[in-house]
Amino acid sequence: MSFYSILFAGINPASGDQLAVGLFMRGAQQLHFAWSRHRTALIRELMGADAEKLLVQNLKALERKAAEEALPEQHGTAMQVESRHAGHELNEPYFHYLAKYSTNLLTIGPATSITLEAGGEQFKELFRLLVDDRSPAVASSRARDIDETKSRLKERIAARVNWDARITREEVPGLLFPSVQLDFVGRNGQDVIGEVVDFEKREFHLEADINKLANVAYVLQQAGRLGKAYVVGDEPDAGEYPRQHEAWKALNGSTQLELVPTDEMDRIVEHLNAKNVQPWRRS
């Protein structure tokens, strides 16, 4: 026997109006959890960026809870996980509890039993019928969040920069490594560089992302060539990611690197347009 629960965002607490934003489904061997980027974007339009950010944080919290008891495995457009042990916590009684005590912003619908097996195709069909038929189910994963952020930014600035550009020591003498790949580079008399960063990734990898950008920025600054150096990324939870939060806090006070939250990427677009930034290299 399987069950599913619909996740809603409250758009008008006074009237009880809600918008379906996600779906959880579990069977004997598998669970699936996904949410709609299209629907969370509507929350931003209706209730503002802060409400959308909090909503997404709550959705990610449920994902982390699932990850504690399951091994993730990509399967189509949804995150499929297989249970490590029979005594899992994300069961029907727990979802009935969540349904009773969930907040106005994120409301968990009651667990509904179904005779269908909780397979990937069944989940996608339920997601289409119950949540969003305008876009495929999006697995709530940090990697996919970063990919989507990069895709959105690339779409807006690709005409003014080189994307996934490799800078060599011949082009920028003094680089620590023979070459460095950055998410985007452009120039307007001075150079504009940037990197989209996941502040929830492991500390070692986060430091590598930041250090390579900082090295390029430093060398360009010493040569009088640095216009802007952008780090695009959101503040991680200080309790869950203390070291990553320290890195974010340090960057937030940096005069060399400009930290840009993902909901403020207009700042980059406006700068590139105002300064008529052009790609580093012409194809």
- Give the DSSP letter string of 172-194: STT-SSSEEEEEEEEESSSEEEE
> Cα separation of 220 and 214, whole Å?
10
Q: What is the pLDDT of residues 180-204, one digit of tens each?
A: 999 999 998 899 999 999 998 888 8
Extract the tokens encoding 24: 């959880």
In a shared domain, residues 128 and 115: yes
Please give the Cα distance from 130 to 149 (Å, whole number): 26
From 86, 106, 140, the end of a domain falls on 140
Does 161 share its domain with 123?
A: no
Final residue of a domain: which of 125, 140, 155? 140
Among 98, 119, 140, give the residue marking a domain's end.
140
pLDDT value of position 97: 81
Residue 143 CA, distance from chain mean position:
7
Q: Are residues 147 and 86 in the same domain?
A: no
128, 157: one domain: no
Above 50 in pLDDT, residue 71? Answer: no
Structure tokens at 274: 């105002």
Please say whether the beta carbons of 9 and 18 come within 8 A.
yes
pLDDT at 184: 97
Rg of the chain on CA atoms, in Å: 22
Q: Let me know whether 124 and 152 are in one domain.
A: no
Which residues constitute the domain of residue 59?
2-140
Together in a domain, 136 and 153: no
Question: Does 229 share its domain with 271?
Answer: yes
Is residue 18 located within the same domain as residue 148? no
Same domain, 86 and 157: no
Q: Tell me: do 172 and 272 sit in the same domain.
A: yes
130 shares its domain with 162: no
Same domain, 134 and 148: no
Could you tell me which residue, 32 or 227, shows the higher pLDDT? 227
Model-wide pTM > 0.75: no
Domain count, the chain: 2
